[in-house]
Amino acid sequence: MRNIKKLHKAEYRPIGDLKTWSPMPTANLQMIDPFLFLNHHGPQVYPPGNSGLPFGPHPHRGIETVTFIIDGDITHKDSQGHSSVITAGGVQWMTAGKGLLHSEVSSEEFKKNGGKLEILQLWVNLPKRLKMMEPHYRGLQKEQISVWKNKEDTIRAQVVSGNFEGIRGAFDTPTAVNLSIVHFDESSQLRLNISRDENILFYVIKGELEVNEIVPEMHLADFSRNSEVLLIKATKPGILLFGHAKPFNEKVVFGGPFVMNSEDEIREAYDDFHSGKMGTWK
């Protein structure tokens, strides 16, 4: 079976009054190619009359952002004219490509009434050949996302992209990235076959899972490629962010909200942003 090389506990990095845990990147784990960045906001309860999420208009280039709403909601707007309010169980997928501006804030209803909030945002890299593609956005509610279940109905996977045990993901994506949110009942067990040439993203959102060793809540497991077999046991009820994909094996240069292949491309991204080539905010 696949072995865990190392477990990485998410680091606590609050953003104002928003509780935020970051398993990647850290000093010990830069990325799991092509998965670049993961933030886990919450869980927490907002009171009535709150200010909501703090992510006002900002740019991106060279990546895709995938946002999983566990609790609460997100209002998305961008400079391409897309807008949506996605609620608990839904997912937003934005391909930034050559660049756009977007905001991710709470709905007026959530700010008025308050409530539970828990959200994950993942950045997925784009290969060099696609970094300047046209931007795209799509948001889907919980009921619009395909679900795989085992025979006993003790494991349920929301299939977000790619393929999970024969079920096609809800989002069509420019690269072959497989992403799912998997819910485990206690004592359930799942055996998967993942090609050795693919990297695995394995982050326990809630509960506790075992893959040769225990992976606690808010920990990310970094796997070796020693086997195609992945055997997951739920020692407690759990929720897992699970992904796998072939690495791009390209140079990765971070420049704040931009991820490109060279420092020159990062400078160009900032120039294009400041000159309005990524759009303007109305």
pLDDT digits (tens, 9 = 90+) for 92-107: 999 999 999 999 999 9
Q: How many angstroms separate the CA atoms of 46 and 52, rounded? A: 8
Residue with tokens 């869980």: 43
pLDDT at 111: 97
Domain chopping of the chain, boundaries: 4-274
- Is 4-274 a CATH 2.60.120.10 domain? yes
Residue 2 above 80 pLDDT? yes
pLDDT tens digits, residue range 72-86? 999 999 999 999 999
pLDDT at 233: 98
pLDDT at 89: 98
Work out the average pLDDT over 243-249. 98
Please state whether 199 falls in left (phi above 0), alpha (psi between -120 and 50) or beta.
beta
Residue 38 above 80 pLDDT? yes
pLDDT at 176: 95
> Does the pTM exceed 0.95?
yes
Q: Grade residue 121 by pLDDT with cuts at 50, 70 and 90.
A: very high
Instruction: Report the half-sphere exposure of 87 (CA within 13 A, side-chain side).
Output: 7
Residue 282 above 90 pLDDT? no
Q: Output the average pLDDT for the chain.
A: 97
